Amino acid sequence: MADPRVKKLATILVNHSLGVKKDELVLISSSSELAKPLVLELYREVLKAGAHPYVNIGFEETANIFFKEATEEQLLHFPKIKHYEARNIDCVVNIRAPINKKALSNIDPEKMGRRAKVLRPISDTIVNKKRWVLCNYPTNALAQEADMSLAEYEDFLYGATNIDWNRIKKLTEKLKALLDKASEIRIVGKDTDLTLSIKGRPAIPCWGERNMPDGEVFLSPVENSAEGYIYYEHPAIYQGREVTGIRLRFRKGKVVEARADKGEDFLLSMLSTDKGARYLGEIGIGVNYGIKRFSKDILFDEKIGGTVHLAVGKSYKEAGGKNISAIHWDMIKDLRKGGALYIDGKLVQKNGRFLI
């Protein structure tokens, strides 16, 4: 018998997150076969909604084989069938269920960056034109990465997803109303004093329609506006690589100095992917206070109440963003101990708690 928490999550994803309608084409995609219990419940819920489910289950090992053995021609090959699929589906649920989160640690990041450029038309089609939601399924790899047992991680995940999303909606809409009237955000904290313009950029409230778990308000800052410096207390993880102690300095919106205690070469490589990689594509404010601990997973960590996250690289058109890049790398700034958030010079959050 399936875990009732899995059934509830599937219901939330199909009915709340995607709002699946009769006769729609719904892609259920997973990075590994470990997500089978959730895939099956999603398949069942999509059918109940009168829609047409399509399943795409991958094998984690294929990516490693590809990057190690693909020729130059294969690396640059554009998968037309995947592009056709992306153009013709109505919505997609993407389930992450990794077997080994370090599987790509020894792959040349330059190769991964070039492949990302090739695949960008597909990812852009889904992100910008389709309804989509991303979620995790509990695996030992995710639990281990978060320093939890599998049972503890299951409680952690379902405790963050199977909640009252109407309550989160009200909180995010309140913050959106404040940000939409504002011109500037200032972030202050440990080794951090960063100011950026948000004038004319609409804030996007998130309550479980794209990410699961959710609970944030994000927008794309004015591309040339970031001034100052920031330090990230928590590791920043991208493409399976962990970079710790990141320090970035911005001038006229651009990263002009980047350092890290560990993984600095990878950081610099990603920032050199293309011209847009050194500019901010997003700032997000976490409001999900049910997620109390850092888990080394941006899907959860960027939603932690009392944190902000800033992403270098691609921005979101719906948030007024104009920055173009093959990467989008979120990094978490924790404001719960000595941090502050100012909007148009007014203190709106202190030590991670809102004053509005």
pLDDT for residue 92: 96
Q: Taking the model in full, what pTM does it have?
A: 0.78
| Mean pLDDT across the chain | 93
pLDDT tens for 308-336 read 999 999 999 889 999 999 999 999 999 99
pLDDT for residue 2: 74
pLDDT for residue 1: 65
Which of 315, 297, 301, 152 lies closest to 222, judged by CA?
315
pLDDT tens for 66-79 read 988 889 999 899 99
Q: How confident is the model at residue 109 (pLDDT cuts 50, 70, 90)?
A: confident
Backbone angles phi, psi at 324, to 5 degrees: -115, 130
pLDDT for residue 107: 82
Residue 28 and residue 43 in contact, taking contact as beta carbons nearer than 8 Å: yes
Burial 310-332 (b: 16+ CB within 10 A, else e): bbbbbbbeebbbebbbbbbbbbb
DSSP code, position 245 = S
Average pLDDT over residues 49-60: 94
Give start-end residues of each CATH 3.40.1830.10 domain in the chain: 4-161
Which of 63, 110, 108 lies closest to 271, judged by CA?
110
- Calculate helix-pair angle for 4-11, 36-48, nearest 10 degrees: 50
pLDDT tens for 35-52 read 999 999 999 999 999 999
Residue 96 and residue 137 in contact, taking contact as beta carbons nearer than 8 Å: yes
Is the bond leading into 121 cis (omega within 30 degrees of zero)?
no
pLDDT tens for 169-225 read 999 999 999 999 999 999 999 999 999 999 999 999 999 988 999 999 999 999 999
pLDDT tens for 117-128 read 898 988 888 888
Q: Is residue 53 scored above 70 in pLDDT?
A: yes
Q: How confident is the model at residue 106 (pLDDT cuts 50, 70, 90)?
A: confident
pLDDT for residue 100: 85
Backbone angles phi, psi at 90, to 5 degrees: -95, -35
pLDDT for residue 104: 79
Least confident segment among 238-242, 250-254, 285-289: 238-242
Q: Is residue 239 scored above 90 in pLDDT?
A: no
4-161: in CATH 3.40.1830.10: yes
Residues 6+ apart with CB under 8 A from 133: 13, 17, 18, 91, 92, 93, 94, 208, 209, 210, 211, 212
pLDDT for residue 30: 94
Average pLDDT over residues 282-292: 93
DSSP code, position 350 = E
CA angle 281, 76, 82 (to 5 degrees): 75
DSSP code, position 20 = -
pLDDT for residue 305: 93
Q: How confident is the model at residue 17 (pLDDT cuts 50, 70, 90)?
A: very high
Average pLDDT over residues 10-21: 96
Average pLDDT over residues 57-62: 88
